[in-house]
Amino acid sequence: MRPGRFVPAFCRVAGLIGIMAILLIYLPFTLPRLLGCQVLVITSGSMEPQIPVGSLIYVQEVSDPAVLQPGEVITFHSGLDGTLEEDTITHRIKENDIQNEQLITQGDANTMTDLHPVPYHMLLGVVKKHLPLWGNFALVLNTFWGRVFSVGVLVFSVGCYMLGGRFRENR
C-alpha cells in the first residue's frame, strides 16, 4: 500500500467499524420490538439462576392465556390497575386456573407460590428469550450519558468515514 492510501483507508475502516458497532449494540433492543416483543430488564433475583438479575428479556403477547402451561415463564402487572411499569413481575406458571381465569405463579428462587393469583387481564405475555447481562447494558445506554456516548461514537465514526473519503478525493 502506498503511503498516501493508508490514512484514507484507515479512516474509512475505523468509521465503518464504529458505525457497525453502534448498530450491533442497539440491535438486541430494537429488532425484537419491531417483531412485536416487549423488551424488559430483570431487576430482582426471584428467577435466578434460570434468569439472572441484569438479563434482558423478550416478552411476546399471548392472545389466549388459557393455552398457557405450567413451567412457562410469564411477565405480568401486579398493580391493581395493570398499568404501572414498576409493578412488572416475571415468574413461572405453577398452575393455570382456566375456570377462574387466573394463573398461579412462583419465582424460581422463591420457596412458595405468589400470594395473589394473576388474573388473565394482568398478563403482559410469555418470556420467549433472555440475554444475561444485556439488561445492565440497556440500563446504562438508556441514561443521558449513555445516549450522549452512543451519539458521540456515531458522529465520530461517520466523521472518520467521511474524512477518509475526502482524503481519497484530494489525492
Task: List, for the chain, all residue ranges whose pLDDT scores fall below the cut of 50.
Answer: 1, 3, 82, 84
State yes or no: cis peptide before 49, omega within 30 of 0: yes
- Cα separation of the two ends of the chain: 14
What's the predicted TM-score (pTM) here?
A: 0.78
How far from chain centre, in Å, is Cα 83?
A: 20
* pLDDT tens for each residue of 134-162: 888 888 888 999 999 999 999 999 998 88
The pLDDT value given to residue 68 = 95
CATH top class, domain 3-170: mainly beta
The pLDDT value given to residue 80 = 56
- Among 44, 55, 78, 157, the one annotated catalytic: 44
The pLDDT value given to residue 170 = 64
**Domain boundaries along the sequence of the chain:** 3-170
User: Is position 44 annotated as part of the catalytic site?
Assistant: yes
